[in-house]
Structure 1
Amino acid sequence: MRRYRKVWDYLLLIAILLGLFISSSQPYAKQDMRGTIDKLVDEQSLQNRIGDISIPYGGKDVSLEEKGAAGFIEFFLRKGVHFSVFALLAFSWYRVFSQHLSFGQALPWSAFCSVMTAALDEWHQTFTPDRTGMVQDVLLDAAGSVTMLLIIALNYLYSRRAHRYKM
């Protein structure tokens, strides 16, 4: 059974990396969700609920006024996906590294590989039409990775402590 876990860990890592590569290779127009969001969201109702919220990101203000309801919602969906995918990527790197390294070695290598993947992913986007690579996205991706690795570390420490008290 342990052998299958190793295979699945590697397959998950490869699938995430391949998905990132394919996603970064697509122009923005192919990934644009604003048309679908427009059909589902009433802009006036959203404006009444959240008002004039404005968030600085990448040297620009992200607001309903600047982006419209669909663009505003799409921004948060995209950034949420960035965070979540890189959290999953960090988990996957950790699972692969932990098969060969100690906890104290697997965790920093997972962080390093996750952040390097984020940087290379953003760099790759600079070669794709209508896409840009942003340092802010690398930082967001790193935040997703670090969050997952903190959860892993806390779980590891908790399980070691719980195991120690059972004896």
Structure 2
Amino acid sequence: MGTSPVRENGETTGCDEDGRFRRVQYWAPCVFWTLGIALFSSDYFSAGSTQSIVRRLLSFAFPLMSDLTAHQIHMAIRKLAHVVTYGTLFSTYVMALGRSFKPWMSVNWHTFSFGILGTLVTACLDEWHQTFSSARTGTILDVGWDSLGILCFAAMWFCLAKRRIKVLEF
């Protein structure tokens, strides 16, 4: 591997193999997380498949729990998974975009905008993909849960950025 040309601030320009490898490293979490989402939207992780597992765990911890309560907890876990999964995907986009085009931890409105856009496109494609499965149902409501995750994690990023260092460029 060659040496990267270095800017005055010590950051590499990314014009050679080192820079390309670094960009792959920045985007790998985003790609792998998206592949994980595709796996979780398969029939193996449908509500019918996960319900029996959650029910067994709940019956072990709370033997007197009613079926209705167990079902409600199962649905809450699934919706929370949407929020956390897509919030995390948004975070991987923000980190990849921030590292690829700016110094480490540079977060600005462009980073947020493209992170939100990429995550929303993934959420819509995921729900569309589920409409082709007999065991899944793709709904716009789930995109709403995904969007809630994006907003929560965007607020977290905003607060962290304001608190740690001046990294937001308005």
TM-score by length of 2: 0.70
Whole-angstrom CA distance in 1 between matches of 2:78 and 2:35: 18
- 2:65 maps to 46
Alignment of 1:58-97 (within 5 A): 68-97=68-97
Whole-angstrom CA distance in 1 between matches of 2:95 and 2:80: 23
Alignment of 1:124-143 (within 5 A): 124-143=129-148
- 2:32 maps to 15
Q: Which moved more, 1:17-26 or 1:84-93?
A: 17-26
Contact 1:111 1:145 in 2 (8 A): yes
Alignment of 1:125-164 (within 5 A): 125-160=130-165
**Quick one: higher RCO (CA 8 Å, sep 6+), 1 or 2?**
1
C-alpha root-mean-square deviation of aligned residues, in Å? 2.9
2:65 aligned counterpart, secondary structure: helix
Deviations 1:48-77 (A, max 9, x none): xxxxxxxxxxxxxxxx6xxx3432222111
Whole-angstrom CA distance in 2 between matches of 1:87 and 1:70: 26
Does residue 109 of structure 1 match 2:107?
no
- 1:100 maps to 101
- Structure 2 residues not aligned, in runs of 5+: 1-11, 13-18
Deviations 1:7-41 (A, max 9, x none): 44311111111111222232565862222333333
Shift of 1:5: 6.4
Whole-angstrom CA distance in 1 between matches of 2:148 and 2:47: 26
- Structure 1 residues not aligned, in runs of 5+: 48-63, 162-167
AA aligned to 2:96 is V
Contact 1:38 1:69 in 2 (8 A): no
- The percent identity for this pair of structures is 21
The number of residues matched between the two structures is 143
TM-score by length of 1: 0.72
Contact 1:87 1:145 in 2 (8 A): yes
Going by fraction, where is helix more abundant, 1 or 2? 1
Displaced runs of 4 or more, over 4 A: 2-6, 27-31
What is the aligned counterpart of 1:35 among 43, 52, 57?
A: 52
